[in-house]
Structure 1
Amino acid sequence: MNDNNTYKVGIIGFGPKGFYGFERLIAYLNEAEFSRAIQIHIFNNTKFLASGDVYRTDQPEYLIMNYTNRNINSWVLKKPYAPATSTPDFVTWLTGNKIADAAPGMYAPRATVGKYLEACYQFVLEQLPKNIEVVVHIGTVTNVYKKEEAYELKYVDAKFRQEADIQCNKMLFTTGHHSFKAQSRKNIMLDNKIEFVYPMDEKLSHITKDSLVAIKGFGLTAIDAILSLTEGREGSFKKHDKGILKYIPSGKEPNKIYPFSRTGLPMVPRNGLLTTDTELHFFTKEVIAELKQNRPVSFNYTLLPLIKKEFYFAYYSVLFKNYGHQFYFDEDFTVIENQVQYFHEDFPECPVFNWDDIVNPFKDEPKLSSIVLQVYIELLINEARLGEDKSPFMAAVSTWRKISPIFNEIYSFGGLDAVSHKEFDTFYFGLFNRLSYGPPVKNMQKMLALCKAGILDFSYVKSASISFNDDKSKISLHIKNGQATDISYLVNATISRGKEGGFKNELYQNLVENGLIREFENKLITGYKPGCIEINEVGNAIDKNGNVNTDISFYGTPTEGITCDNDTLSRTRNNFASVWAKSTCRAIKKRDGRTENYEREENVL
């Protein structure tokens, strides 16, 4: 291709979000029937294109998804349709490739999802218009700066560690959690402290058998790390006649694994069953649309009461049904409460809905024991097996999944006052994730089996802290009562969220220094910086002077904090990919002097 006349587009980060942007761009370019040469430069840290770090295809099979096959689809059924040899959803692809566990309600290995994503990428490449060239760069982009009418990208090649420059006219940044919010490399390289666990075969391989390992976090990433250090070391789980799992050690595991977190609570597991799609009654689109007219909104005083009512109504809808009673909605909440009062008078043995018990049943306990956690996990497993249609508890906690898309509309772009914004980010985001987006029951059964085997130890699970000696060669895990244990390794199994105080990643620090982006600050009533980039409502960068730069767009993880809950695989949540692709086509047409209307609209948020 003639380089001087070639329009160049850069996609920085090429996991699922990068692929979604690429697919939409190809679809729009194909529809526009350009004759000019177009290059699409793809930059990714690894060779796992479209699958990315989370779904890379070299992961072991025991690392599985936390939502079912039926919810996975790489394609959008909107014009312009993708020019691809095939556009199967995940279940169709599994079935066509005769892959086991293709049922809609199953939880597939993440590596299998990665293979699906990579196959979808190939389907698009196979029908690539002749004037479009895709250039792949495996390496790390470290800097971007303006150069005349384009931008110079500096990147370091992953294999040869050589620095190179590429010019691009337009860019989409879809960097994931690790590359966007990376910690200092000094911490990452300490032998006894692992700051990021993926890929686990590499990052956890030097942890020796019979050692003592502390794992920060007790969410999905922590479960992955625990399984990697046990099942991933040739341990196995055997099922008893009653369906209870028992762990059979291989002798290659650590002696003890100590998870610890702020609350000490495990995530609520899920069973994968298709549930009744109940509607919301209080936290509705109509209510939120009205609240949006009077921003900022208080989370505690305005939104939380609506969320509690939804949990309450979902809980009693199932409880009433279990006893053959009909639970009626009424706009007057006292009428609903009266129904509940009469019900409990008739059935005093039934548990009463209690928000605090759902949020944290051990709030007033300064520490938790392995026995207490074991009993609680057994309770969660039993509730999850019942499912949302039979368990009042599961019906209540699943409510957030219905509320979340509507909440995003009011959270995004500073819809909450600054105090509420900070409180949601630091407390409620984690709470609702724990309640509503937990692991499959199978994985929680494995945690229980490891606890009974004496490998998983909950002695420090709640409110533990870590201390180091002067040269950081020794690590101690301790709790307030003075109990302490010297540990061999500390594993950070949390996924970083934005924090106040700027960006730790080199690329984003340089973007700020070059004036191409600035940090977002919520200035409503007080002030709060969630640690994310400021963008406009279609994902374009806001530069240091407050101007919109349509040449630079962000999608996915870099927008967290100004948008909420960017589901890695979602094609609809905070969908800046479509508007970016259309904007890129418009820019090319403008350069070519084409002025025809190009007004197809797609749902962006």
Structure 2
Amino acid sequence: MENTETYAIGIVGFGPKGFYGFERLIAYLREHNNDRSIQIHIFNNTSFLASGDVYRTDQPEYLIMNYANRNINGWILQEPYALATSTPDFVSWLTENRFANAAPNEYAPRAIVGKYLEDCYQLVLDQLPINVRVVPHIGTVSNVFKRGEEYQVKYTEAESGKENSIQCNSLLFTTGHHTFTSQKNTTSKENSVDFIYPVEEKLKPINKDSLVAIKGFGLTAIDAILALTEGRQGMFERKGNGEFKYELSGREPLKIYPFSRTGLPMVPRNGAPNSNAELHFFTDDLVRHLKKNKPVSFKCTILPLIKKEFYFAYYRVLFKNHGHQFYFDDDFTVIENQVQYFHEDFPECPVFNWEAIVDPFRDEPILSSIMLQYYLEFLIEEAKRGEDESPFMAAVSVWRKISPLFNELYSFGGLDAASQKEFDTYYFGLFNRLSYGPPVKNMEKMLALYKSGILDFSFVKSANISENTLNNNYTLQIKNARKTEINYYLNATISRAKEGEFKNELYQNLLKNGLVREFKNKLNTSYNPGCIEINKDGNAIDAKGRVDKNITFYGTPTEGITCDNDTLSRTKNNFASVWAKGVCTSILNKAGITEKYEREENVL
């Protein structure tokens, strides 16, 4: 007998991760091939479905990826295969659609990546089973209540402001609960911006010839700086020596002052693939051993291994550059002896120094502009050489290889509490700065803007900003040293989970309603990273410690209990597949079908 009762599924947050969950769900539903009526409710703050806020298609083309084209693929090679007529990776799609800069090592505009993701979404929509209906809701979800076996999803429509609610049997949350607390400026001051995106809208009020302070010197700060210069018709032109020169349009601020705790910019990249060099110390075997002996100390156990990998990568390239072979040995003193003999033969070569790599100006309380200029020039030159020629780049690229293995140790309380806190508050940012920086072209632009006089590094380190109540402006000052008045203040930092904090209204309400509980690492000491607790399938743990298989989290909401949820990755912390399979099992169970849905996933 045909079952006509509708099974409703909700996906809260529909950027790339929401789309990935949706794609897996449709693939599993097609494989199951039942005739149950199914509705998939998509909740998203904006109409940029699948691209989301980060890759929205209306942003300017000068906002580019820090992720080379060859690394982008909206599809996963996994059974059941995607229900789509074609599944092009990004490079193939760029080539087919005749986009410029389609080479694998190029960095595309984020808006183009968004267009690709939206096309991937449409390819799935075009092949929907006839019993599946997709219902988008453009608005903000603020609360979820459990009513019997169902969940009442409360949301506010973006266009009308009207409050509505939808009943769902199963929910997937991919929206960040601590990254973007709001898409609106949360401060009351007209001359400050807490969230710079979309840049053309948020930064439009900034007057030409004004003084602007930008908190942060990472990818978001670079976006803000480019929006206030190139985004105002300024032009970057290559000179005969290959350097950029910036031509003013007259619409730029007079000065832009970036400032951060370390004052250090991110290490740029040239787009070339990672070297094929293997890890020697941070290995699969080691990870398997450590996972059996939890908790793991970051400083005592993991950090020394990371330092050894940096050391080996550095000297592997340095030796090669001088026609020598660098040999691995299980006895690290044998490796150190090779290095000692090498430096005796080549005393002019720089010695590996961990501190100089992670923070060359640690002992400098204040950075001069000229010091930072020299450092930028050094980073640009090393990035152009790449990790096959630059010992420095070979070393800092190591973290990209270590990261997936480290995630296995970090996730679900694998580190002791003190170690997790130390990693979250210091080393996560450090390794991001070293290994996930912007394209070298963007750092060349920063140097050109500095030389033009617009970008000013006078307050880049050890500065604080405070409100000036007399004139509604701000004061940017280095402690017991120089200061300047500021007309506009931009916060260009992207916050992560913070100890004991749940800023987002939705996640506060999930806690209040008992649908989730806070994750606490109680190994040796205690640390609350400010994230929800989930099991290893991504399912929520409710206030009473019970697993709710009908609520799953994926992507940003799992930060703090997992690590490094790359926005575009289809494989890292992939809760989408297990969620989709679980939904199909729930549909079968609810329909009264007793056989279990047991198909194993085969990753090719």
Question: Same-fold call, TM > 0.5?
Answer: yes
The aligned counterpart of 1:580 is: 579
Q: Give the counterpart letter for 2:161 in structure 1.
A: R
Measured against aligned partners, the alpha-carbon deviations of 1:147-193 in whole angstroms (never above 9, x if no partner) come to: 12101011000000000010000000000367x54169673443111
Q: Is the Cα–Cα contact under 8 Å of residues 358 and 430 in structure 2 kept in the other structure?
A: yes
The aligned counterpart of 1:556 is: 555
The aligned counterpart of 2:377 is: 378
Q: Is the Cα–Cα contact under 8 Å of residues 73 and 90 in structure 1 kept in the other structure?
A: yes
Distance of aligned partners of 1:181 and 1:501 in 2 relative to their CA distance in 1, 3 Å threshold: farther
Distance of aligned partners of 1:471 and 1:10 in 2 relative to their CA distance in 1, 3 Å threshold: farther
Q: Is the Cα–Cα contact under 8 Å of residues 4 and 36 in structure 2 kept in the other structure?
A: no
Distance of aligned partners of 1:488 and 1:90 in 2 relative to their CA distance in 1, 3 Å threshold: same
Mean Cα deviation higher: 236-245 or 476-485: 476-485
Offset at residue 467 of structure 1 (A): 1.2
Offset at residue 277 of structure 1 (A): 1.2
Whole-angstrom CA distance in 2 between matches of 1:181 and 1:98? 34
Q: Give the counterpart letter for 2:357 in structure 1.
A: I
The aligned counterpart of 2:352 is: 353
Q: Give the counterpart letter for 2:363 in structure 1.
A: D
Runs of 5+ in structure 1 lacking a partner?
Answer: none
Residue 202 (1) aligns with residue 204 (2): no
Q: Give the counterpart letter for 1:145 in structure 2.
A: F
The aligned counterpart of 2:53 is: 53
Residue 137 (1) aligns with residue 144 (2): no
Whole-angstrom CA distance in 2 between matches of 1:593 and 1:235? 65
Offset at residue 370 of structure 1 (A): 1.4
The aligned counterpart of 1:473 is: 472
The aligned counterpart of 2:21 is: 21
SS at match of 2:407: helix
Whole-angstrom CA distance in 2 between matches of 1:4 and 1:153? 23
The aligned counterpart of 1:222 is: 221
Mean Cα deviation higher: 63-72 or 473-482: 473-482
Residue 101 (1) aligns with residue 101 (2): yes
Mean Cα deviation higher: 302-311 or 593-602: 593-602
Q: Is the Cα–Cα contact under 8 Å of residues 181 and 498 in structure 1 kept in the other structure?
A: no
Q: Give the counterpart letter for 2:290 in structure 1.
A: L
Whole-angstrom CA distance in 1 between matches of 2:180 and 2:275? 38
Offset at residue 461 of structure 1 (A): 0.5
The aligned counterpart of 1:6 is: 6
Whole-angstrom CA distance in 2 between matches of 1:92 and 1:176? 30
SS at match of 2:115: helix
TM superposition score normalised by structure 1: 0.97
Whole-angstrom CA distance in 1 between matches of 2:200 and 2:44? 20
TM superposition score normalised by structure 2: 0.98
Offset at residue 322 of structure 1 (A): 0.4
Runs of 5+ in structure 2 lacking a partner?
Answer: none
Counterparts of 1:30-429 in structure 2, within 5 Å, are: 30-176=30-176, 181-182=180-181, 187-429=186-428
Q: Is the Cα–Cα contact under 8 Å of residues 17 and 568 in structure 1 kept in the other structure?
A: yes
SS at match of 2:585: helix
Q: Give the counterpart letter for 1:533 in structure 2.
A: I
Measured against aligned partners, the alpha-carbon deviations of 1:407-459 in whole angstroms (never above 9, x if no partner) come to: 00000011111111011011000000000000001000000000000000011
Q: Is the Cα–Cα contact under 8 Å of residues 184 and 504 in structure 1 kept in the other structure?
A: no
Offset at residue 471 of structure 1 (A): 8.4
Whole-angstrom CA distance in 2 between matches of 1:451 and 1:107? 23
Q: Give the counterpart letter for 1:273 in structure 2.
A: A
Offset at residue 601 of structure 1 (A): 3.4
Mean Cα deviation higher: 116-125 or 196-205: 196-205
SS at match of 2:280: coil
Q: Is the Cα–Cα contact under 8 Å of residues 177 and 495 in structure 1 kept in the other structure?
A: no
Q: Is the Cα–Cα contact under 8 Å of residues 213 and 254 in structure 1 kept in the other structure?
A: yes
The aligned counterpart of 1:515 is: 514
Whole-angstrom CA distance in 2 between matches of 1:480 and 1:144? 46
Offset at residue 593 of structure 1 (A): 2.0
Q: Is the Cα–Cα contact under 8 Å of residues 9 and 170 in structure 1 kept in the other structure?
A: yes
Offset at residue 485 of structure 1 (A): 1.1
Measured against aligned partners, the alpha-carbon deviations of 1:21-47 in whole angstroms (never above 9, x if no partner) come to: 000000000000010100000000000
Whole-angstrom CA distance in 2 between matches of 1:338 and 1:477? 49
Whole-angstrom CA distance in 2 between matches of 1:530 and 1:471? 39
Whole-angstrom CA distance in 2 between matches of 1:7 and 1:291? 43
Whole-angstrom CA distance in 2 between matches of 1:505 and 1:350? 51
Offset at residue 86 of structure 1 (A): 1.4
Aligned CA-pair RMSD:
1.6
Whole-angstrom CA distance in 2 between matches of 1:200 and 1:601? 45
Offset at residue 476 of structure 1 (A): 1.1
Mean Cα deviation higher: 509-518 or 460-469: 460-469
Q: Is the Cα–Cα contact under 8 Å of residues 260 and 461 in structure 1 kept in the other structure?
A: yes
Whole-angstrom CA distance in 1 between matches of 2:333 and 2:255? 51
Distance of aligned partners of 1:603 and 1:265 in 2 relative to their CA distance in 1, 3 Å threshold: farther
Whole-angstrom CA distance in 2 between matches of 1:17 and 1:163? 25
Offset at residue 288 of structure 1 (A): 1.3
Whole-angstrom CA distance in 2 between matches of 1:478 and 1:486? 9
SS at match of 2:40: strand
Offset at residue 482 of structure 1 (A): 2.6
Whole-angstrom CA distance in 1 between matches of 2:512 and 2:207? 42
SS at match of 1:257: strand
Name the count of aligned residue pairs.
Answer: 602
Distance of aligned partners of 1:193 and 1:139 in 2 relative to their CA distance in 1, 3 Å threshold: same
SS at match of 1:476: strand
Whole-angstrom CA distance in 2 between matches of 1:396 and 1:236? 34
Offset at residue 294 of structure 1 (A): 1.2
Distance of aligned partners of 1:489 and 1:29 in 2 relative to their CA distance in 1, 3 Å threshold: same
Q: Give the counterpart letter for 2:73 in structure 1.
A: N
Q: Give the counterpart letter for 1:174 in structure 2.
A: T
Distance of aligned partners of 1:185 and 1:272 in 2 relative to their CA distance in 1, 3 Å threshold: closer
Q: Is the Cα–Cα contact under 8 Å of residues 78 and 602 in structure 2 kept in the other structure?
A: no
SS at match of 1:341: helix
Q: Is the Cα–Cα contact under 8 Å of residues 69 and 91 in structure 1 kept in the other structure?
A: yes
